[in-house]
Amino acid sequence: MRLVDLHVHTTASDGLYSPAQLVGEALKRGLAAVAITDHDTMKGLQELDSTTANCSLEIVPGIEFSTFYQKKEIHLLGYYCDPENLQLQETLSKNHRDRHLRMEKMVNKLKEMDVFVELDEVLTTVKGGVIGRPHLAAVLCQKGYCSTVEEAFNSYIGYNRPAYVERAPFSPGEAIAVIKEAGGFPVLAHPGLGNDDTYIPSLVHAGIKGLEVYHPEHDAASITKYLRLAREYDLVVTGGSDFHGEHSGPSLHIGTVTVDYSSLEAIKKSLRLQGKGANDLNIVKKGF
């Protein structure tokens, strides 16, 4: 079997590995392809022009959007989006501004709790990527307020925790529209994390084309359920490790969760039917 991991993160968002390091790890583990799906950015792919020039690993350009529907956080993956698409660029710029403002509000909430973290300290950990709560969690650990990233989320910045701040409104329908406008393939990520599948028919109606059935947080019962739903709604079955680095867990690494290359072929086939040519589905194009 040719195995692919269609969900990994780099230092361009909240991962600990650079894109080049991820490529090296994926090659060591014998993967045929890996999808870089950073949060609200495709900049991680810029490093890969030279790194992958003679590389046997296929790099799938991707992105992950966080959206909200009826007070539920829903993540959507987009594969093969055109990074130069104007609507995508405008959406990412807005999301970056919203992330910065959200982080500023969380830092202020922490100060009200006598947990003294400065915004500049958080920005320093981002290293040019997209700011997110894991960066704040890392600073909380560095300053001794928490022992682990998980503790930081559970005690301070996780959903409904004292320093939590909701994201700016961004609906699943909006994210799906942006992905499709950019010529991409929209997939519902890790549906099992929400413990509520009632919104899936609405997302199918809005245009999702795939379902992330295989994920580290999906048990055997969940996998069986989502395989059935994928068949019912004629969705491509995808999967991946959702790897962020060591803070993902000591037993989780690139390729821990995979799907067969046929899943990637199904995505490509769907995009070809929409008019994407071979050049649009290349490993990596300059300009990412």
pLDDT, averaged in runs of 10, over the chain (288 residues) = 95 89 93 96 80 77 91 92 96 93 96 95 84 92 93 94 91 97 97 90 97 97 98 98 75 91 97 79 48
Please give the pLDDT value at position 249: 60
Please give the pLDDT value at position 1: 82
Provide the residue ranges of all domains of the chain, joining segments of one domain with +.
3-91+168-281, 100-157
CATH of 100-157, one of 2.40.50.140, 3.40.50.300, 1.10.150.650, 2.60.40.10: 1.10.150.650
CATH of 3-91+168-281, one of 2.170.150.20, 3.30.930.10, 3.10.450.50, 3.20.20.140: 3.20.20.140
Please give the pLDDT value at position 204: 97
Please give the pLDDT value at position 279: 65
pTM for this entry: 0.87
Please give the pLDDT value at position 194: 81
- The first and second tokens of residue 198, run together, are 């009632």
pLDDT, tens digit, 9 for 90 and up, residues 139-162: 999 999 999 989 999 999 998 899
